[in-house]
Amino acid sequence: MLDAVKFLRARRDEAVDVLPGELHVYLDDPITQSMWYPEADMVELIRGVAKLLPGPIDRALVMMGERSARAQTTVYGDLLRGVQSNSRTFALWSSQHDTGEMRSMLEAPNRVRLELVGYEDTSREMCLVLGGYLAGTLAINGITDASVQKLSCRLWGDKVCAWRGTWTPLEEK
C-alpha cells in the first residue's frame, strides 16, 4: 500500500483523475506504516497505479505483484525464500492482511500450489497482483523459467483462489 501511495503522490495531478474522490486523502494525509487501512482502499489505489503505468492494465497489475515480492525480500527475505513452507507464506500474508490464510504446497520438485482461503476482499486486481507475487517469489528463490497459472477463483464461484507455479526441474536444465 505504501508503495502505491508514494507512486500516486509522485504523479499527483494524474492520480487525482484516476482515483475516486474519497481516496484523495491518500495523496495528502500522512500514512502510518503500522496502521491497518481498508483493503478496498488498497485495491482502488493499485487500480489507480495500474492506470498510470504504460501498457495493459492487467500486465501492470502482475508486474506490481512481481515487484512487491522482490521489494519485500530486503525485509522479509527469510520468509519468502523456500517456496515449500506453509508457515512462511502464512506469516507474511497475515502481517499485511486481516482476512484470509495463504497456503503453499509443494506438489512436485518443479510445481507449487498456492491457495488463498477465507479472503473476504477478493477482486480481479488482487488476483492479478497475487499471481505476479507468486511469480516474483519463485524468481527470488532462483527459479528463472517459472510459469504461473490461475486454477480457481472465488470470483468464478470457487471456494478458494488458487494458483500453480511450474518450472523446469534442475536436472533438466
| pLDDT grade for 78, boundaries at 50, 70 and 90 | low
State which amino acid sits at residue 107. E
Q: Over the stretch 117-156, which tens digit does the pLDDT of each residue have?
A: 888 778 899 899 889 988 888 888 788 788 999 999 999 9
The predicted structure's pLDDT at residue 171? 60
The predicted structure's pLDDT at residue 18? 96
- The CATH code of the domain that includes 99 is 3.90.1520.10
Domain count, the chain: 1
CA atoms within 13 A on the CB side of 59: 4
What is the end-to-end Cα distance of the chain in Å, rounded? 37
| pLDDT grade for 7, boundaries at 50, 70 and 90 | very high
Domain coverage including residue 100:
2-172
- Mean pLDDT, rounded, of the chain: 83
Joined together, the cell numbers standing for residue 128 give 492479478
Q: What is the pTM for the complete model shown? A: 0.80
Distance of CA 119 to the CA centre of its chain: 13
Higher pLDDT, 10 or 42: 10
> Is the confidence at residue 87, as pLDDT, over 50?
no
| DSSP letter assigned to residue 154 | G
Cα–Cα distance measured from residue 74 to residue 68, given in angstroms and rounded to the nearest whole number: 11
> Is the confidence at residue 86, as pLDDT, over 50?
no
